[in-house]
Amino acid sequence: MGALIRSVDFSEVEIIDPFWSGMIGLVHAKTIPACIERCEETGRIGNFRIAAKAVPGEHSGRSYNDSDLYKVLEGIGYTLSRFSDGELEKRADEIIGYIVGAQEESGYLNTKHSISGEGRFVDMDEHEMYNGGHLIEAGIAYYLGTGKDALLRAGMRFAEHIMEIFGPEGRNWVPGHQEIELALVKLGELLGKEKYIAFAKWLLGQRGRGYGSTGPEASAGGWNREYYQDLVPVEDLDRIYGHAVRAMYMFAAMADVSRHGFSGYLPALESVWRNITDRHMYVTGGIGSSKVNEGFTVEYDLPNESAYCETCASVGMVFFNHRMFLLTGESKYLDVLERELYNGAISGLGLDGSSFFYDNPLESRGKVERKPWFRTSCCPTQMARFIPSIGGYIYAARGRDLFVTTFIASELECGFRIRMEGDFPESGRIRLSGDPRGELDRVFVRIPDWANRHSVRKTEGAESVGMKDGFLIFRIHDRFSLDLEFDMKIDFVRANERVVCDRGMVAIQYGPVVYCLEEIDAPDYECFEFREGDAFTIDRSSVTFPGRSLVRVVDKEDGRTRATLIPYHLWNNRGACGMKVFIPSRLSDSLYCR
């Protein structure tokens, strides 16, 4: 497979992109403060004070609530690498002090069990390792963002603790909610210690061998082997099933382990990826159609109004697909990642920065609204950490080669200097320039799957030397600049005929952005359909959604605007009203391009 492709770390990238800079600024100003406030109000921070014996009291909430605070701290780590915010850093350090104080001498850390005195690791679905995984990820991000290592050392102590108890010479264990596995790989890569990666592989290897359903630590609530991805050993997987978020975290870890010399998982990963993207994924990138199991049912069961599509599952798809690219070098995984970035993942956050979706349906009768918090609030805190981390999904490197994986305007400084400019996703025009400083030989630029055509308009200091795995390849000679354009047009997307609810309907996509129709933007919403006499135009003059391209549906005969479609991720920001992604259509088949 050759040299490893590695992600360029978020801390080496400065984002200058209007779209993402605005979102990151919103998370810094609104989302993170709102999440901290909610964590205080709901006792999540208080649990650590109690466990640290700073105040008396009893544990409140659920066993996995610790993870919400860890995710907020992870987001703060990413944010502080971009913004200087002494007050936020002071607040984070205070919270970290309680976390460190709550950690037991052994390295164990879980407020519910420490406060109550309940037995440790007696129920596989108590989220102890899940919490620990988020602790490790938070410690890494906070260290990279601030240089402070107190939280990182707490994560390391937890990792050492579980490695003393479990493993080939210790107890068997199947984590009920996967997460610790990918966190351990991150830790191993940061510290250069293979033992953490080896333990992650051991944990993955515990699944499908009966330990979860027959062992003494099986979940007190019952162990549904399908729900927990525990039917077969992970290397034998050939289809997707069970809980969507758990599955994505597991696949991400499997891809990570595969990058470190273990090839046994690759056939399974490729099989489940094809199964998901061909038969279980919505046009928005959403996955997990059922609320019953927060996951997957039978193939092509993709209802619109009852679609679950948890926000965390879309973010999990980003993790999985990013790692599959790093493993294989194939751009098809980045096409899915991009679909998630601009649709399924960011729809979870409202424009006010403090209202959220847990589930993301593709149709609503006006009864769905964003909420400020949930009893289980993994999705709000997921937004707090995911959006500020976006700098880690723009570039990747392999030896003296650089991959441009997403078109987010940014500057990269890591031995060589790169600047990417553009207003994507409003247009497909991209400019790359930089100084190789003797450290850069080639630049690989992804050709996105939505681009019907592409052109290289100008090159200086570089020459085109071909294509491979969905990338344009340029050899760099000296200071260089590249002007590229990917053709963006309005696409009419029709679902697979086996998706019964979408027959006779069509969705609109412009570049990677999927659009929807809200009732407020169509006078005849209830009976609205696309007609042969319609013209579809891009409108960039919106006052309500500045900087966002809208799609106007215009009657060719009288020039009247029949409806205006907005990007799906913006819906429900003007109050509750009807919404639909797939719209009845009488358009000619010749218009459909997908």
- Does residue 215 carry a pLDDT above 80? no
- Does residue 591 carry a pLDDT above 60? no
Mean pLDDT of 150-157: 98
- Does residue 351 carry a pLDDT above 70? yes
Q: Which of 379, 360, 591, 385 is nearest to 490 (CA)?
A: 591
3-state secondary structure of 568: helix
Per-residue confidence (pLDDT) for residue 2, from 0 to 100: 57
Instruction: Dump pLDDT digits (tens) for 187-203.
Output: 999 999 999 999 999 99
Question: Residue 354 carries which side chain, given as an amino acid letter?
Answer: S
Contacts of 196-203 with CB under 8 Å at 24 or more apart are 196/159, 197/256, 197/257, 197/260, 199/159, 199/162, 199/163, 199/167, 200/253, 200/256, 200/257, 201/257, 201/262, 202/166, 202/167, 202/168, 203/129, 203/166, 203/173, 203/175
Mean pLDDT of 273-287: 98
- Does residue 1 carry a pLDDT above 50? no
Instruction: Dump pLDDT digits (tens) for 410-466.
Output: 999 988 999 999 999 999 999 999 999 999 999 999 999 999 899 998 889 999 999
Mean pLDDT of 293-313: 97
Query: Annotated catalytic residue: which of 294, 340, 363, 421?
Result: 294
| Of 146 and 543, the one with more pLDDT | 146
573 is written with which tokens?
Answer: 């920001």
- Does residue 231 carry a pLDDT above 90? yes
13 is written with which tokens?
Answer: 């990238």
H-helix or E-strand containing 457? strand 454-468
Mean pLDDT of 353-362: 98
563 CB-side CA count, 13 A: 23
420, 409 Cβ separation under 8 angstroms: yes
206, 173 Cβ separation under 8 angstroms: yes
Mean pLDDT taken over the chain = 95
Its sign, for the CA torsion 69, 70, 74, 76, is positive
3-state secondary structure of 445: strand
Residue 461: left if φ>0, alpha if ψ -120 to 50, beta else—which one? left
H-helix or E-strand containing 259? helix 244-259
Query: Annotated catalytic residue: which of 35, 378, 379, 516?
Result: 378
- Does residue 112 carry a pLDDT above 60? yes
- Does residue 590 carry a pLDDT above 60? no
3-state secondary structure of 31: helix
Question: Residue 561 carries which side chain, given as an amino acid letter?
Answer: T
Q: Where are the alpha helices (DSSP H) in 117-208?
A: 128-146, 150-165, 180-191, 194-204
| Residue 591 DSSP class | G
Q: Which of 367, 344, 239 is nearest to 568 (CA)?
A: 344
207, 229 Cβ separation under 8 angstroms: yes
Mean pLDDT of 113-140: 96
Q: How far apart are CA 203 and CA 215, in angstroms?
A: 15
Q: Say what the pTM is.
A: 0.96
Q: How far apart are CA 258 and CA 197, in angstroms?
A: 10
DSSP states of 347-412 as a string? GGB-TTSS-B-SS--SEEES----BS--SS-HHHHHHHHHGGGGGGGSEEEETTEEEE-S---EEE
Local confidence band at 593 (pLDDT 50, 70, 90 cut-offs): very low
- Does residue 99 carry a pLDDT above 50? yes
Can you tell me which residue has the tokens 């056939």? 267
Question: Residue 410 carries which side chain, given as an amino acid letter?
Answer: S
Q: Is 294 a catalytic residue?
A: yes
Mean pLDDT of 257-272: 95
Q: Which residues contact 504 (CB under 8 A, 6 or more apart)?
A: 584, 585
Q: How far apart are the first and last CA of the chain?
A: 32
Q: How far apart are CA 171 and CA 166, in angstroms?
A: 5
Q: How far apart are CA 146 and CA 192, in angstroms?
A: 20
Per-residue confidence (pLDDT) for residue 385, from 0 to 100: 98
* Portion of the chain with pLDDT greater than 90, in percent: 93
Question: Residue 78 carries which side chain, given as an amino acid letter?
Answer: Y
Per-residue confidence (pLDDT) for residue 592, from 0 to 100: 46
Q: How far apart are CA 161 and CA 423, in angstroms?
A: 48
